[in-house]
Structure 1
Amino acid sequence: MNKKRWMAAALAGAMALTMTACGGGTEDTPADDSASTAESTNTEQSTGGEAKKVSVILKTLAAEYWQYCKAGAEAYGAEHGVQVDVKGPSSETAFEEQITMIETDLNTADYDAYVIAPLQAETVKTLVAGETRPVIAVDSDIPDTPEVLSFVGTGNEAAAKLGGQAAVEAAKAAGWTEIKAIEICGVQGEATSEARKAGYMAGIEESGGDFLEEETQYADATADRAVNAMEAIMQTHLEGVAIICAHNDDMAMAAARAAASNPAYENTIFMGFNGDKSACESILKGELTMSVAQNAYDMAYKAVETACNAVAGQQPEKFVDSGADIITSENAQERLDTLNSYLK
């Protein structure tokens, strides 16, 4: 076992224990100074040629969201004559599988660049140490890593802030005069969870709502635990709560189902995050109210584009925001049609 492999395995083992304890994923939010030390090395890392083959390693392919990422990456390749090899482990907890994929592709001489969605950023940081070909992080950042030239993803805090603002307006329209909000959050202390929480809070409070931060329910980003969290909220707030915002769509839909038979929550705004097909369908059925939609297809498309531009010698932006939209009953069908078109 080489030194990088040994260090990566040690890091993965330590982080796997942490993940088991908190039961969540490891999505990072963009850091403004991410890879700031790369300024002096980016020129050396660009080959100045034309990209012919790019490795794209996602967190998994066994989920709808990552299939959109795969489609976007492959679309860029098809449009620009670049071979794009997309792969991912069997699940978002298959850490060793991803380590092996990354290690194998880094040792493959004919790749011109790499796009990686890290399951464990610190582990990937070790694996890419010293790599001179362009490395782009997608969906989750790999902070403080000179080899990573750019992070392409969602600005989680900014996107959640938009969602919080939209939720307050929806609550007003639904007749709420006292607009209290509680979040069913992801993993406590995890970067993406805390960024979305901060964004929701800012958007809700700046729009005149009251974000009950001390009542945040951490549910490890899982639907089952979101049900338990929603039941706890209903026991504490018999009068109802204007806004329930959640870390992802699965949690928001689970919370909405748990409250469906409670009259006090009939007009509650249930907000998710991701904007996947299931969320659009739930919105159209009148179950979920709205969702902050990440643009997974565009995210991966832009990530491969950024990698290819870096190969050509262009200096990439440190952070490329793939954008976010607010999905409601007014545009859910349009969003659903678009998502379906990606997977044809």
Structure 2
Amino acid sequence: MKKRWMILLFCVFFLTALIGYTVKFLRENDKPKVVVVLKELDSQYWKIVKGGVEKGFRDFDIDGKVLATHDGSVEEQNDILKNILKEKPDVVIVAPISASNIPILKEFDKNNIPVLLVDTNDLWENKTSYIGTDNFELGRKAGELLASQLQPGDEVALPLFDGFLTNQVFSERINGVKYSLEDAGVTVLVDTIKLRDELSSVKKAMTNILQDHPDVKGVFAVNDIIALSVFEVTKEHGYKIPIVGADGVIEMVDLIEDGTLTSTIAQNPYDMGYISVETAVKVIKGEKVAKNIDTGIDIITKDNAKQQLDFLKQLLK
């Protein structure tokens, strides 16, 4: 009799455990599935985007994952997207490297999988939404920021790498900054160099501008990595002039916090990541979402640089 009770008790425990596991399995498989494909994950910027995405996964109880290329190539990103298409997630969120990604993204649309673009917009009409910066507006604000430190008739350098002109994000920023500077009566000096290495090209372009226009009074760089390279060149040539970039990376904010540089424009990559997941949840629920969701920009000066540094360092721990 005792042996039978032991067997019965064991069966009860086994069934309870099995039911618990099954419920957990079903619950996990009922979670919305969202896949995020970024350009890369080596830089501060994309690590912060990933941080926002993962916070969104936790807050909205999403079965999600983040993938990225190793070499930043369109071909690798397309291969990643082809594999994801086979998984049939509820939503895919992509930071497209170029318009060459659109043919594979159209396949998601054909399979009724909504596509959200993050960070980098495209004119593709069937995207569900773009979540990120209005890059023309970023450039316009950067131009206003620079102009506020200059006088009409002053010259501002815009050193470029040849590839920037075909990069939609950078070309929009360039158009925006030109609009504001020219409106303020500031002359924009452009020098474009085509070398193998992007940063070397920008340094060479900046060196050329300083040699040909020694009275230059300021610089706009399309992002803060470029701005830091420009700073090295101006420092070598003995210039102390305002250099405004974009993104708000730690090294740039450090220079502003210690008074070496005056200001920069910061995007909100953490918000981009988080809001893109939040938007994916709304799409899955059948809610209507805006075609363009502007995640805004911040102007970083000495007054708020320390606060921004603390925020960035906490995210990148």
Alignment partner of 1:253 is 2:228: yes
Contact 2:160/2:201, CA 8 A, preserved across alignment: no
2:167 counterpart (180, 183, 190): 190
Aligned partners of 2:135 and 2:210: how far apart in 1?
28
- Per the alignment, do residues 285 and 310 of structure 1 end up closer, same or farther by CA in structure 2, a change over 3 Å counting? same
SS where residue 107 of structure 1 aligns?
helix
Alignment partner of 1:62 is 2:39: no
Alignment partner of 1:119 is 2:97: yes
Alignment partner of 1:297 is 2:264: no
SS where residue 277 of structure 2 aligns?
helix
Q: Which runs of 5+ in 1 are unaligned?
A: 1-49
Aligned partners of 1:226 and 1:112: how far apart in 2?
42
Deviation beyond 4 Å, 4+ runs, structure 1:
none
Which residue matches 1:39?
none
The structure whose residues are more often helix, as a share, is: 2
Which residue matches 1:311?
284
More displaced stretch, 330-339 vs 180-189: 180-189
Equivalent runs, 1:232-311 vs 2, <5 Å = 232-238=208-214, 240-263=215-238, 265-266=239-240, 268-311=241-284
Corresponding pairs, count: 282
**TM-align CA RMSD:** 2.0
Aligned partners of 1:142 and 1:262: how far apart in 2?
39
- Per the alignment, do residues 125 and 341 of structure 1 end up closer, same or farther by CA in structure 2, a change over 3 Å counting? farther
Which residue matches 1:86?
66
Aligned partners of 1:107 and 1:331: how far apart in 2?
46
Deviations 1:10-30 (A, max 9, x none): xxxxxxxxxxxxxxxxxxxxx
- Per the alignment, do residues 125 and 304 of structure 1 end up closer, same or farther by CA in structure 2, a change over 3 Å counting? farther
Equivalent runs, 1:145-160 vs 2, <5 Å = 145-146=125-126, 148-160=127-139
- Per the alignment, do residues 69 and 232 of structure 1 end up closer, same or farther by CA in structure 2, a change over 3 Å counting? same
Equivalent runs, 1:89-100 vs 2, <5 Å = 89-93=69-73, 95-100=74-79
Aligned partners of 1:97 and 1:189: how far apart in 2?
20
Which residue matches 1:331?
304
Alignment partner of 1:203 is 2:177: no
SS where residue 128 of structure 1 aligns?
helix
Deviations 1:219-241 (A, max 9, x none): 57932222111110111112x21
> How far does residue 261 in structure 1 lie from its aligned partner after superposition?
4.1
Aligned partners of 1:219 and 1:289: how far apart in 2?
27
SS where residue 93 of structure 2 aligns?
strand
Which residue matches 2:8?
none
Q: Which amino acid aligns with 2:226?
A: M
Aligned partners of 2:170 and 2:141: how far apart in 1?
16
Deviations 1:179-230 (A, max 9, x none): 2222123512332222111111122233x24132xx3123579322221111
Percent of aligned pairs sharing the same letter: 27
SS where residue 246 of structure 2 aligns?
strand
Rg: which structure is higher?
2
SS where residue 300 of structure 1 aligns?
helix
SS where residue 137 of structure 1 aligns?
strand
Contact 1:293/1:325, CA 8 A, preserved across alignment: yes
Aligned partners of 2:185 and 2:265: how far apart in 1?
18
Which residue matches 1:342?
315
SS where residue 287 of structure 2 aligns?
coil
SS where residue 76 of structure 2 aligns?
helix
